[in-house]
Amino acid sequence: MVPEGCAIAPGIRHLIVGEYLTLDRARGDAIEIFRVLHGHRNIEADDLGS
């Protein structure tokens, strides 16, 4: 597992919140959360797209 807050793909970071994984990216002076996935999922590269 990649440490929280580190990039898991170019420009994409993650944070674990309870049983969920959030995927986010910086957009100017804001952070955009674009995916919230249940932690028990088998996450594929396709899940990282927007």
What's the gap between Cα 47 and its chain centre? Answer: 9
Judged by DSSP in three states, 49 sits in coil
Would you kindly state where each structural domain of the chain is located, as residue ranges? 7-48
Please give the pLDDT value at position 30: 96
Give the tens place of pLDDT for each residue, 1-49: 556 666 677 888 888 899 998 989 999 999 999 989 888 777 666 666 6
The first and second tokens of residue 15, run together, are 């944070």
Phi/psi for 36 (5° steps) reads -130, 115
Residue 50: pLDDT over 70: no
Please give the pLDDT value at position 48: 64
Indicate whether this model's pTM tops 0.75: no
Q: Answer yes or no: are the C-beta atoms of 34 and 19 closer than 8 Å.
A: no
